[in-house]
Amino acid sequence: MKPNSVAIVGASETTELGKVPTMSQVQLHADAALNAIADAGLELGDIDGIATGGHNAVEIAHYLGIVPEWLDGTSVGGCSFMLLVRHAAAAINEGLCTTVLITHGESGRSGLGRHGSSIFPSLFQQQFERPYGVTRPPTMFTIPVLRYMKQYALTEETLAMVAVVQREWAGLNPRASFRDPITVDDVLNSRMICYPFRLLMCCLVTDGGGALVLTRSDRARDLRRPPVYIRGTGESGETPLISQMDDFTSSAAFRVAGARAFSSAGICHDDVDHLMIYDAFAHLPIYGLEDLGFVGRGEAGPFIAEGHTRPGGSLPLNTNGGGLSYMHSGMYGMYALQEGVRQMRGEAPAQVEDAEISVVHGVGGMFGASGTIVMTNVA
Amino acid sequence: MPQGERELPRPTPETSHFWEGTRCGELRLQRCDACGTVYFPPRHFCPKCGSTHVSVFRASGRATLHSYVISHLPAPGFEPPYAIAVALLEEGPKMMCNIFDCEQTPEALVLDMPLEVCFETINDEITLPQFRPAREA
Ligand SMILES: [Zn+2]
């Protein structure tokens, strides 16, 4: 894809986040979609491409009254939306459609109108993992971490610092679910969920949604909002089984998606002003920083603990408070993208001054899939 | 919240030899006749080179404790806290398991400790491979 040929011209979350007992899942999609289309200064009739993850894209189109010319329903977990941005940009460049709406909605907390898992069930997982008492993500996503901790001497205290630092960012964000400062002791004294993971190292479970509108950059300049250009993209997938991850200290999907995004954008790490790394659990920013190449192997924990990613640090990371403190409906990727857009527009609650390049990195399943988007406000 | 019964494997044509093996106390893996790769989970071809010339063989049952968590969440058929572990088999592949004959504590569950396969008979059809600390020979 040619860098900056496609732009995000509309972006919005649902009007409410957190606990939304008045909306089922499809309405959360629609609420965000209508907000994003209005944000772009467009109308429903301008949309000719529909993409969503974790929900039938046809239902979204029908619910919105759109008969699209292009559909994508890639559902590989929470990073589906990064992949959909990539696919949408390719489709727009190919001329398959002109204006794509990507929607997310999930009644993660209230459970209204949900339909099972957002990822297709795995045959192997049914036979070779589920019989061993894996249930919800905290019992799976966390499994590789003791291996990492042994290999790189990562301590529980340092792991806890990830949650502490992200709470600092959340404290700057009025929409964050949890805003009160926490300490390492608070994290390590919180309820044990799945050793070595305690409650405050695990993401929230909330209701919400978000949507993006993308179109060609030459059209974008005539629209209401400053365009946020898609400068580079990458995606990959490794395995639906956490037990079959090749290296328990590094994600192959992260490495492939990240490297492709950086090379297609033509940027190096020093160019990155703002970074989002999908944090369903506290170890994910650690794996992400290393697999994206921002720091060396085993260095990410100390890097975070030393304050480089906190407000005022050299690499602002998860500036909305992340899945640990902002919100996490289940498929958090959309909210990471929304924060990337806010930062590029210069309107984030915790705005990084003069930020020109944002990297938004997502995970799907339990280190199963990955998508990375490089955004910029410079044409 | 998890409800109902513990989920049990539903064997498929690609995996039936594996589940037949566990029923008679054997841990069976597959080896590629073309490139020598030993792989798991089972399938009719080598995921490394694509060859369909593959053989089933009995694994040694020796492994090490590669990683684990101790879940405090409710799960049908389990009494929390219980460990969900990954055994690294001597032959190379990794396999999820629970750890038998061992306290379910970080002190007792030491990474890289030697394990040996054991078998948990669930019913006439399903016997699960499990692992326990290796006993001195
Ligand atoms: Zn082979």
Q: Contact, A326 vs A333, CB < 8 A?
A: no
Residues B105 and B125 in one domain: yes
Q: Are residues B67 and B126 in the same domain?
A: yes
Residue A168, in any domain of the structure: no
Please give the average per-residue pLDDT across A212-233, as a whole number: 96
* pLDDT average, residue stretch A148-164: 98
Residue A242 lies in a domain: yes
Domain count, chain A: 1
pLDDT band at A232 (very low <50, low <70, confident <90, very high): very high
Ligand 1 ion: Cβ-proximal residues, 5 Å cutoff: B 32, 34-35, 37, 46, 48-49, 51
ipTM, two decimals: 0.97
**Residue-averaged pLDDT of chain B:** 96
CA distances from A161 to A119, A191, A302, B131 (A): 30, 16, 9, 34
CATH (domain of B54) = 2.20.28
In a domain, B123, yes or no: yes
What value does the mean pLDDT take over residues A198-206?
94
Query: pLDDT of A349-379, one tens digit each?
Result: 999 999 999 999 999 999 999 999 999 999 9
Cis peptide before A226 (omega within 30 of 0): no
Q: Residue A214's closest CA among A319, A103, A320, A105?
A: A103
A135 min Cα distance to partner chain B (Å): 7
The verdict on B41 and B71 lying in the same domain is no
Expressed in angstroms and rounded, the spacing between residue B45 Cα and the centre of ligand 1 is 8
Least confident of A220-224, B105-109, B110-114: A220-224
Domain span at residue A320 reads 6-114+204-376
Residue B129 lies inside a defined structural domain of this protein? yes
Is residue B47 located within the same domain as residue B113? no
Query: Given this model, what pLDDT does residue B3 score?
Result: 58
- Same domain? For B54 and B88 the reply is no
- The structural domain count of chain B equals 2
B64 lies in the same domain as B46: no
Q: Kindly tell me if the per-residue pLDDT of A188 is higher than 70.
A: yes
B69 plus B110 within the same structural domain: yes
For residue range A52-61, list pLDDT tens digits in order: 999 999 999 9
CA pair distance B122, B100, nearest whole angstrom: 15
Cβ partners under 8 Å of residue B42, min gap 6 = B14, B15, B17, B18, B30
Catalytic residues of A: 278, 326
* Total number of residues shown for chain B: 137
In a domain, B5, yes or no: no
Indicate yes or no: CB of B69 within 8 angstroms of CB of A147.
Answer: no
B41 occurs within a structural domain: yes
Query: What is the average pLDDT across B87-106?
Result: 98
Burial (CB count within 10 angstroms: exposed 0-12, middle 13-18, buried 19+), residue B59: buried
Give the CATH number of the domain where residue A294 resides. 3.40.47.10
> Which H or E run contains B87?
strand B82-89
Q: Is B72 left (phi over 0), alpha (psi -120 to 50) or beta?
A: alpha
Helix (H) or strand (E) holding B22: helix B16-23
Same domain for B133 and B72, yes or no, is yes
Q: Which residue has the tokens 């790189």?
A: A152
Q: Are residues B78 and B129 in the same domain?
A: yes
The mean per-residue pLDDT over the stretch A24-34 comes to 97
Q: Provide, as residue numbers in chain B, all residues whose Cβ is less than 8 Å from the Cβ of A140.
A: 84
Distance between A124 CA and the closest CA of chain B, angstroms: 7
The alpha carbon of residue A75 and the mean position of all alpha carbons in its chain are separated, in whole angstroms, by: 14
Residue among A195, A238, A241 with most chain B CBs within 10 A, to mutate? A195
Residues of chain B neighbouring A128 (CB-CB closer than 8 A): 9, 41, 95-96
A379 burial level (CB within 10 Å; 0-12, 13-18, 19+): exposed
Residue A367: closest CA among A199, A239, A221: A239
Verify whether the Cβ–Cβ distance A136 to B73 is below 8 Å.
yes
Query: Above 80 in pLDDT, residue B114?
Result: yes
Distance, in Å, from the CA atom of A259 to the CA atom of B41, rounded to the nearest integer, reads: 29
Q: Look at residue B137 and tell me whether its pLDDT is greater than 70.
A: no
Asked whether residue B1 is assigned to any structural domain, the reply reads no
State the pTM of this model.
Answer: 0.97
Residues of chain A with pLDDT > 90, as a percent, come to: 94
Does residue B3 lie within any of the structural domains? no
Cα(A322) to centroid(ligand 1), Å: 42
Chain B residues whose C-beta sits inside 8 Å of any chain A C-beta: 2, 6-12, 15, 41, 66-75, 77-78, 81-82, 84, 86, 94-98, 106, 111-112, 128
Residues with Cβ within 8 Å of residue A18, at least 6 apart in sequence: A109, A177, A206, A207, A208, A327
Domain assignment present for A270: yes
In this structure, is residue B72 part of a structural domain?
Answer: yes
Mean per-residue pLDDT for B99-103? 98
pLDDT of residue B1: 42
Is A193 contained in some domain?
A: no
Ligand 1 centroid – CA B17 distance (Å): 19
CA angle A232, A363, A206 (to 5 degrees): 120
Residue A67 in domain = yes
Kindly determine whether residue B67 and residue A196, on different chains, have CB atoms separated by under 8 Å.
no
| Neighbouring C-beta atoms of residue A324, cutoff 10 Å | 31
CA dist B58 → A113, A147, A209, B55, B74 (Å): 47, 27, 50, 10, 35
- Rounded-to-integer distance, Cα A43 and Cα A22, Å: 24
Do B108 and B87 share a structural domain? yes
- Residue A17: pLDDT over 50: yes
Instruction: Say yes or no: B66 and B54 in one domain.
Output: no
- Give pLDDT tens digits for A70-124: 999 999 999 999 999 999 999 999 999 999 999 999 999 999 988 767 778 788 9
* CB spacing of B69 vs A195 below 8 angstroms: yes
The verdict on residue B4 lying in a domain is no
Is residue A123 within 8 A of residue A32, CB to CB? The reply is no
Question: Tokens 């975070």 map to which residue?
Answer: A304
CATH of the domain at B69: 2.40.50
Decide if A48 contacts A70 (C-beta within 8 A). Answer: yes
* Sole residue written with tokens 């920083």: A289
Measure A363 CA to ligand 1 centroid, in angstroms.
29
Same domain for B41 and B27, yes or no, is yes
**Residue linked to tokens 């328990």:** A248
pLDDT of residue A215: 98
Q: Do B71 and A147 touch (CB under 8 A)?
A: no
Task: State the burial class of residue B110 (Cβ atoms within 10 Å of its Cβ: 0-12, 13-18, 19+).
Answer: exposed
Tokens of B59: 């694994």
Domain that holds residue B26: 12-58
| B41/A133 touch (CB, cutoff 8 Å), yes or no | no
Q: Is the pLDDT of residue B2 over 60?
A: no
A112-155 pLDDT per residue, tens: 988 767 778 788 999 999 999 999 999 999 999 999 999 999 99
From chain A, pick out residues whose CB is under 8 angstroms from the CB of B70.
Answer: 194-195
Which has the closest alpha carbon to A33: A356, A334, A376? A334
Query: Which residues of A lie closer than 8 Å to B, measured between beta carbons?
Result: 123-124, 126-136, 138-140, 142-147, 150, 191-197, 241, 243-244, 248
